[in-house]
Amino acid sequence: MSDIESSSMGRALTGLIRVLAEVADDLTAVDGAAVEYARQWRQVNDVLVAVPLENPLRAYPTLWDWYARCQDDLRHAQTRSLHLEEISARAAETLTLLEVGPPAFSIELFERDSNPNDVPYLSWFLHDLTKPKQLAAKAAVERILAYLGNAVVETEWGGNLQDGLCELRIRRTAAEVESWWRNYQGLPEPEPQPHVEILLRIYFHAYGDKVILLLGGFDKGAHPNHEKAEVRQAKANLQNWRTQQERRRTR
């Protein structure tokens, strides 16, 4: 080996030894810092124990445990913040809905022979319909019929059965009715919901100053062969109401 090669190797070994020494010093410093940190942490806890207040750090052996708890709290706070943002968005949506004008038509229920205990529509609604169908009927009356009135017969939602008798045709769930109404009003649509087969008829008569009289209802999906009989009954109910009106006028 030449003198030049020996000299180069010597310098490389010297440099390596210096680096190792620096690493050893750094490791010693880290160990020392860790020992000092543990000592100071004990001192902090000892001082806080003497304070006549609840020590929030007493439950945490090290600063890192406390930091992890803070991270958990932060995540919970972020979750609450997202929840509050959802509530705020719903509130803004509610304000938008409130900007829509009230329904143009008021809704009344027909009472057979003026008997408040004999209300065909209410009896049908409460006793013949499942919950999803009740919700669909309610939404259609409140969102479609109350806004459109007898003009509903000019849309997919209605039909004219002649002599003042009309029908509201419901083929959609409550959520789908709401979606149609919001689109009609230029409002954002609600979240989609699972579809349920709905096929209902609500018989009504429009009269006076924008009043809709509900005469009865019919679940066509459940009883497809009963429609003619139901229409006849609705016409009989309308005639019964007209007779009551005539009697009031002649008193």
Q: Is the pLDDT of residue 186 over 60?
A: yes
- pTM surpassing 0.75? no
CB 29 within 8 A of CB 22: no
Structure tokens given for 95: 């304000």
> Mean of the per-residue pLDDT values for the chain?
79
Residue 179: band (very low, low, confident or very high) from pLDDT cuts 50, 70, 90: confident
Q: Is the pLDDT of residue 204 over 90?
A: yes
Nearest to 115 by CA among 16, 250, 237, 251: 237
Task: Please tell me the predicted confidence (pLDDT) of residue 242.
Answer: 96
Q: Is the pLDDT of residue 93 over 70?
A: no
Please list, in sequence order, all residues whose beta carbon lies within 8 angstroms of the beta carbon of residue 181, skipping any fewer than 6 positions away: 139, 143, 144, 147
More confident residue, 7 or 86: 86
Q: Report percent pLDDT > 70 for the chain.
A: 61
pLDDT tens-digit series, residues 8-57: 555 555 655 565 566 566 666 656 666 666 666 666 666 555 544 455 55
Task: Please tell me the predicted confidence (pLDDT) of residue 234.
Answer: 97
CB 180 within 8 A of CB 142: no
Q: What distance in Å separates the CA atoms of residue 76 and residue 78, rounded to the nearest whole number?
A: 5
Q: Give all strands of the β-sheet with 158-160 in edge-to-edge order.
A: 106-109, 211-219, 200-207, 166-170, 158-160
Task: Please tell me the predicted confidence (pLDDT) of residue 98.
Answer: 46
Domain boundaries, the chain: 3-58, 106-250
Task: Please tell me the predicted confidence (pLDDT) of residue 122.
Answer: 93
Task: Please tell me the predicted confidence (pLDDT) of residue 54.
Answer: 53
Q: What distance in Å separates the CA atoms of residue 15 and residue 11, rounded to the nearest whole number?
A: 6
Q: Which residue carries 């930091």 as its tokens?
A: 67
Residue 181: band (very low, low, confident or very high) from pLDDT cuts 50, 70, 90: confident
How much is the average pLDDT of 210-224?
94
pLDDT tens-digit series, residues 111-165: 999 999 999 999 999 999 999 999 999 999 998 999 999 999 999 999 999 999 9
Give just the sign of the alpha carbon dihedral 41, 44, 48, 50.
Answer: positive
Task: Please tell me the predicted confidence (pLDDT) of residue 211.
Answer: 94
Which residue(s) pair with 219 in the sheet? 200
Task: Please tell me the predicted confidence (pLDDT) of residue 72.
Answer: 72
Nearest to 133 by CA among 21, 67, 240, 218: 218
